[in-house]
Structure 1
Amino acid sequence: MTGPQRGGEAGHRGRWFRLRAAPERSGGDAMTGDGTRVVHAGVPEAVPGRPFLPGPAFGAPYHLEPVLGPQPGVDGYGRTDNPTWRALEGAIGELEGGECVTFASGMAAISAVLLSVLRPGDTVVVPADGYYKTRAFAASYLGERGVTVVEAPTAGPYPALGTVRLLLVETPANPGLDVCDIAELAARVHAGGGLVAVDNTAATPLGQRPLDLGADISVASGTKALTGHSDILLGYACTRDPQLAAALTGWRGATGAVPGPFEAWLAHRSIGTLDLRLARQTANAAAVAEVLAAHPAVVSVRWPGRPEDPAHEVASRQMRRVPGVVTFTLAGKAAADQFLQAATLVFAATSFGGLHTSADRRAQWGDDTPEGLIRLSCGVEDTDDLVADVRKALDAIGA
């Protein structure tokens, strides 16, 4: 495919956010669209009488060779491996462009990256405006283990990076949606011998491939848009460094932070519709962002797909598509409460990236954000219906 990817451009009323063509598959296959890639990612060769995607393999212990005992490459115990994980890891690794290790949740994946890489005396830089639980984990568990924790906003400025062991960035950041230049930061960190990990949760591997941009690790919560049905918890980390992959796999086995086989199977099943879901969510976000920007009840709105957004320039260079998450601020908690109560199609719920549009007032969780800040995750509803519902809820504020 030589033009823009099929089903990949999203716009509303003449405004388009142009996306880059899908990258070439590993192994030199011809270029294919994102829809083709996600449908076939990790799916085994066709065998007559077998399903497209084999069902989950349930097992804690497996049969061992009675004389030789455990053998390399043969499943022996469910905490260390499972064929259903391997199929999912193959699919995600194909999309991210690296070796994938799956975990029980996004936080399990983040903590595995931090604790398997960092040692006493190291310095780590974490996003000051990213997911607040990541900052809380770093402050609570890394500092008391002799690791120096430095916070930096996603859009900068950043401290001197020459002596940093690990730079963790989240781009787009959650919930503020700032974006950083991954390639530029990776060059600075690598010059001092450090590593770069990118939280790719909001973007997904169809939105950006951090490993292609110089990152050493791409880590994410698969709970969100990657699987998109709001019914499982999952995390993963991808890398092209065999030693890092071995360290992450060893950490998972030692701590038991493993995904269940049924969750892994559900995740693999769900990835097949990722391109379709993202296309509609991005289109909805583009439309909703314009409504929010024009409404007098809205104090501010962030969506990197808008040319007026401070993150647009970097996002348009770095990302292949902008996610369906829009963050906006109302006058305060009372206004946010009125919006959530007046909306019909917008569910009050945390998390994001699901089929249903949801809104989360982030301050209620202890996130250091304004009381009226709402992270709106656009679902796959008809755009006109969602726009009308959001406008109705905004008009209800103060009425």
Structure 2
Amino acid sequence: MSNGFETLAIHAGQDPDPTTGAVVTPIYATSTYKQDGVGGLRGGYEYSRSANPTRTALEEALAAVEGGTRGLAFASGLAAEDTLLRAVCKPQDHVIIPNDAYGGTYRLFAKVNERWDLHFDPVPLGDLDAVASAMTQKTKIVWVETPTNPLLGVNDIAALAQLAHDNGSLLVVDNTFASPYLQQPLALGADVVVHSTTKYIGGHSDVIGGALITADRALGDELAYHQNAIGAVAGPFDAWLTLRGLKTLGVRMDRHCDNAERVVDLLLAHPKVTEVLYPGLPDHPGHETAAKQMRRFGGMVSFRVAGGVEQALQVCDRTELFTLGESLGGVESLIEHPGRMTHASVAGSPLEVPDDLVRLSVGIETVDDLLADLSRALG
């Protein structure tokens, strides 16, 4: 099979059904399977927590588009993250996370796993000296988001992989914002890729899911063992919806990027916008790194407004096409106030975000309509 991205997204793990010839992977809505004698599994299936053919198709497709050896599909992105931590870490181990990490990831470390005696430090990952200084012999993982949520910071995956590996640590990259179409962390040295497949991979705001993809087969097998033992797997219908979304990821991402670039131009020219955060801007501090490791710069845009929090809230309330809502990566455009919505869990912490910040997930609507909507909202 060709290794072109769109070809893999449509065909990897998705051969026509051998019984009927159906070209779309069926939804195997079953919990258990007839075995060929005691201990004799038919096709490797015994119970759908352990494996399900619809989920297998998704996992093989995800591994293919990320260039990995093993893919695992979960009930949510946070379920994937938690399974990874429990498989790799033990009490008193240490993890380095971004100092502008996703609020849900921070909550998982600070409110859940810290009680399990897993230690972590938020570190500016763009400062490689700071990362090196934060590492200890107990550092098991360097956890990377790039671009970050919601400040759209960019981190050098290859450089961080070298630092992590020199310390005997794993490099884990949350690739949700970029998607596998725009960025390939495993090819840059990462050990594990994390996704909230709810976002760009699913792409239609109709399914919750997560994924882990590994470069190393043995690590993938270890994670699969823990996935089965812990149990937060993707159901067959969720796997089917996610697989359907993956097929069009490439064409959707191109449109997301096209529209985001036009939105950025509008915001840069608007007198009420004080700062635009987008890796495609030449003056973005991570622009050169983004240009090196990404195909394009993505569909996420954040900006700050004059007038502080009240003005930011008014902009969020005034849009019509940009729907006020959490999440991102769907075909429809969304707007939110991170400080009071997706990142409320980091209020008062070192990861607290500015209260005048607005985050956009730029969809694939007619771009002139989106520009008119934002212009009205900004006033």
Assess same fold via TM > 0.5. yes
> What SS does the corresponding residue of 1:352 show, helix, strand or coil?
coil
Alignment-derived partner of residue 116 in structure 1: 87
Separation in 2, partners of 1:78, 1:200: 27
In structure 2, the CA distance between the partners of 1:81 and 1:37, relative to structure 1 (3 Å rule), is closer
Which residue in 2 is equivalent to 1:125? 96
Indicate yes or no: 2:230 matched with 1:255: yes
Residue 55 of structure 2 corresponds to residue 85 of structure 1: yes
Bigger drift between 292-301 and 346-355 goes to 292-301
The amino acid across from 1:363 in the alignment is: G
Contact 2:17 2:25 in 1 (8 A): no
* Aligned twin of 2:38: 68
Q: Where do 1:230-379 residues align within 5 Å?
A: 230-330=205-305, 331-365=307-341, 366=344, 367=346, 368-379=352-363
Q: Do the aligned residues in 1 keep the contact of 2:83 with 2:230 (CA within 8 Å)?
A: no
Gaps of 5+ in 2: 347-351
Identity %: 38
The SS at the match of 1:253 is: helix
Quick one: structure 1 residues 133 and 48, their matched pair in 2 at CA, closer, same or farther if it must change by over 3 Å? closer
Identify if the C-alpha distance between structure 1 residues 256 and 49 changes in structure 2 by more than 3 Å, giving closer, same or farther: closer
Quick one: structure 1 residues 36 and 54, their matched pair in 2 at CA, closer, same or farther if it must change by over 3 Å?
Answer: closer
Query: Is the alpha carbon distance of 1:48 and 1:119 closer, same or farther for their aligned partners in structure 2, counting shifts above 3 Å?
Result: closer
Whether the 8 Å CA contact 1:286–1:306 is kept in 2: the answer is no
Instruction: Name the count of aligned residue pairs.
Output: 365
CA 245–373 in structure 1, closer or farther in 2 if over 3 Å, else same:
same
CA distance in 1, matches of 2:120, 2:19: 55
Aligned with 2:366 (options 375, 382, 389): 382
CA deviation vs aligned residue, 1:113-132 (integer Å, no higher than 9, x gap)? 11110112322101120101
Q: Secondary structure at the residue paired with 1:145? A: coil
RMSD: 1.8
Deviation at 1:178, TM superposition (A): 0.3
**How many angstroms does 1:43 deviate by?**
2.2
1:30–1:258 Cα change, 3 Å: closer
Q: TM-score, normalised by structure 2?
A: 0.91
Task: Give the C-alpha shift of residue 372 in structure 1.
Answer: 2.1
Aligned equivalents of 1:48, 1:385: Cα separation in 2: 47
Q: Distance in 2 between matches of 1:81 and 1:146?
A: 31
- Structure 1: tracts of 5 or more residues without a match: 1-28
C-alpha distance 296-274 of structure 1, shift in aligned 2 (>3 A):
same
3-state SS in 1 of match to 2:340: helix
Shift of residue 355, structure 1, vs aligned partner: 0.6
Deviation at 1:52, TM superposition (A): 1.4
- In 2, Cα distance between equivalents of 1:70 and 1:132: 45
Q: Which SS does the other structure have where 1:364 is aligned?
A: coil
Q: Normalising by structure 1, what TM-score? A: 0.87
What do the CA deviations read for 1:125-184 (whole angstroms, capped 9, x no partner)?
A: 011201011112112333333332111124234242363211111111011100110101
One-letter code aligned to 1:130: A
Letter in 2 for 1:378: V
Alpha-carbon offset, residue 42 of structure 1? 2.8
Q: Which residue of 2 aligns with 1:227?
A: 202
